[in-house]
Amino acid sequence: MKKYKYLPLIFCLNFVSNGCELLKEDPEHVLVTENFYRTQEEAIAVVNAVYQRLSADMYNRFVEVLSDLTTDDYKNGIGMPNPFLIDLEYYNFTSENTFVASNWTQHYDGINRANVVLSRVPNIIMDENLKQRILGEAHFLRALFYFNLVRWFGGVPLVTTETQDLSNLNVPRASLEEVYALIIEDLKFAETTLPATYGSSDLGRATKGAAKILLGKVYLTQKDWSNTVQKLEEVIKNEATYNYDLHANFRDNWIQATENGKEMVFAVQFLQNPGQPNGMMVLSAPRNRVPGLNGNEADIPTVDLYNAYQSGDTRRDATLFTSLTVNANTYTFPHPLFYKYYDPGAFGVPQQSNNNVFVLRYSDALLMYAEALNELQGPTAEAYNAINRVRRRAFQDNSHDLAGLNKDTFRDAVYKERRLEFVLEGQRWFDLVRTDRLLTVMQNHKENGTINIKPHQVLFPIPQRDRDLNPSLEQNSGY
């Protein structure tokens, strides 16, 4: 037998070289970290992925469900009676509510994506201005994600580095102050490195103005009126620099040609296939009422909202509709429906709506400015000017200009204006909580039966799943 002792060697000679290759994982169609984060183009792609989180599916109904369905603006219609949505409408939600959890998940996914930019891009050798812009975008987006989280949940775990392995995943909650400190720090970075405007192929990226206005909103939420005023003035007093103004017609904001126009401060960009279409059109469109329009009628406005508009306010018919005319046939609905995200170009294919969703509009900056000025100095001329610019556009003339209000009635006027202006734009719940009105408004809202809101529900519960996995995560009181 000894002459065969070399036999195994043959296999080795033939296959050892192949063999090593065979066990090496070298995916050709899947990028691995080792082959990435090297070029300027890749840096842009990494930050693009953070934006993508906004459209899938964060601002594609999930943010609106937590911030509008939970208010007196919006209720569940006949389509898709999802028990978790009904729980939100009636304030019966628990820590296992999937929509609460989805927002938590999507925001932390966004935060991790932003953290990837912040950990990887600084090491890429590239144009320094572009690098600073990309870092600014990531800081802006991270601030936005934390800003939503802190307002919904209170002090949340602060994750500021990319998750690269399975260690140290159980992050405890930070204090409210710590979260706000990070948000402000991020936005201050962003406002210094972001450009005021972009070319047409970059419309929708975070701008210097967006960072300032968002920072203004952060101050406003903290009731830090002077910083609010100061920050917003930086934009409003230089609005030409930022190319900001109100559209002549309110509806221009949801028309494809003008939606990225002068009123857009920051908007989530939707685009029909092969992009990410806006799903809110199909969810709110009429169901079996207009031939060819297969809406779900899942999300419908309250009648209270419809009636809140004064006559002559063009915003009502730009926001809600009660009938639709197709081919000279008019189909009337038994109750109002949301029109805001109705894209006529997607008639028959409502899954393909192109409508963007605003995170910040210039009218928001004006109304915040008016509110903060009033809190600081009472209804000054500048405050009137800011709110009346919004109203003049709404009524198409100055006949409905506000005048002669005291500090309290001016405040109420701003609140009312905000409700009518930002329907289904993810603002109402935040506004109600920020102004300490959520409990009273919802307790008095009886249109669809009693809302069981309790005092602790000015915060949402931390999702049970993460609490099960991470014992250090404390629940908000009351849940």
Give the binding range for another protein (CB under 8 A) out of 64-72, 211-219, 346-354, 367-375: 346-354
* β-strand pairing of 329-338 with 320-326: antiparallel
Cβ 278 to another protein shortest distance, Å: 12
By CB under 8 A, residue 469 contacts another protein? yes
| 3 state SS for 199-262 | CHHHCCCCCHHHHHHHHHHHHHHCCCHHHHHHHHHHHHCCHHHHCCCCCCCHHHHHCCCCCCCC
Q: Which of 243, 258, 276, 377 binds another protein (CB under 8 A)?
A: 276
Bridge partners, residue 96, by sequence:
none
Spatial separation of the C-alpha atoms in residues 117 and 112, rounded to whole Å? 9
Cβ 443 to another protein shortest distance, Å: 20
Q: Which of 126, 130, 196, 203 binds another protein (CB under 8 A)?
A: 203
84 or 415: CB nearest another protein: 84
By CB under 8 A, residue 275 contacts another protein? yes
Q: Which of 96, 127, 177, 397 binds another protein (CB under 8 A)?
A: 96
Q: What are phi and psi of 30, to 5 degrees?
A: -120, 130
Give the binding range for another protein (CB under 8 A) out of 105-113, 215-223, 297-305, 311-319: 105-113
Spatial separation of the C-alpha atoms in residues 398 and 48, rounded to whole Å? 42
274 or 404: CB nearest another protein: 274
Q: Which of 468, 474, 475, 478 binds another protein (CB under 8 A)?
A: 468
By CB under 8 A, residue 164 contacts another protein? yes
Report the site for another protein in 282-301 (rule: CB under 8 A). Answer: 288, 292, 294
The residue length of the chain stands at 479
By CB under 8 A, residue 197 contacts another protein? no
288 exposed, middle or buried (CB, 10 Å; 0-12, 13-18, 19+)?
exposed
Cβ 108 to another protein shortest distance, Å: 5
By CB under 8 A, residue 23 contacts another protein? yes
By CB under 8 A, residue 334 contacts another protein? no
315, 321, 323, 328 alpha-carbon torsion, rounded to 10°: 50
Peptide bond into 83 cis (omega under 30): no
Running DSSP on this structure, what letter comes out for residue 157? B
Give the binding range for another protein (CB under 8 A) out of 32-40, 66-74, 136-144, 337-345: 32-40
Measured CA to CA in angstroms, residue 64 lies from 9, 57, 106, 258, 299 at distances of 68, 11, 14, 23, 10
- 370 φψ region: left (φ > 0), alpha (ψ -120 to 50), beta (else): alpha
Q: Which of 132, 160, 163, 230 binds another protein (CB under 8 A)?
A: 163
Between CA 348 and CA 358, with CA 353 as vertex, the angle to 5 degrees is 150
By CB under 8 A, residue 109 contacts another protein? yes
Site string for another protein, 165-184 (x = CB under 8 A): xx--xxx-------------
By CB under 8 A, residue 271 contacts another protein? yes
By CB under 8 A, residue 27 contacts another protein? yes
Cβ 314 to another protein shortest distance, Å: 26
Q: Which of 350, 379, 426, 461 binds another protein (CB under 8 A)?
A: 350
211 or 390: CB nearest another protein: 211
Q: Which of 17, 81, 127, 317 binds another protein (CB under 8 A)?
A: 81
Report the site for another protein in 444-463 (rule: CB under 8 A). Answer: 463
Looking at 378-437, list the stretches that DSSP marks H as alpha helix, in order from N- to C-terminal side: 381-395, 407-421, 428-434
Give the binding range for another protein (CB under 8 A) out of 29-37, 131-139, 181-189, 433-441: 29-37
- Token duo for residue 115: 């953290």
Q: Which of 58, 63, 65, 111 binds another protein (CB under 8 A)?
A: 111
Q: Which of 128, 201, 240, 381 binds another protein (CB under 8 A)?
A: 201
* β-strand pairing of 320-326 with 264-268: unpaired
Between CA 288 and CA 297, with CA 292 as vertex, the angle to 5 degrees is 40
Bridge partners, residue 75, by sequence:
300
Report the site for another protein in 39-58 (rule: CB under 8 A). Answer: 42, 44-52, 55-56
Nearest to 106 by CA among 165, 160, 175, 50: 50
By CB under 8 A, residue 200 contacts another protein? yes
Q: Which of 59, 74, 93, 104 binds another protein (CB under 8 A)?
A: 104
By CB under 8 A, residue 154 contacts another protein? no
What does the radius of gyration of the chain's CA atoms come to, in whole angstroms?
25
67 or 269: CB nearest another protein: 269
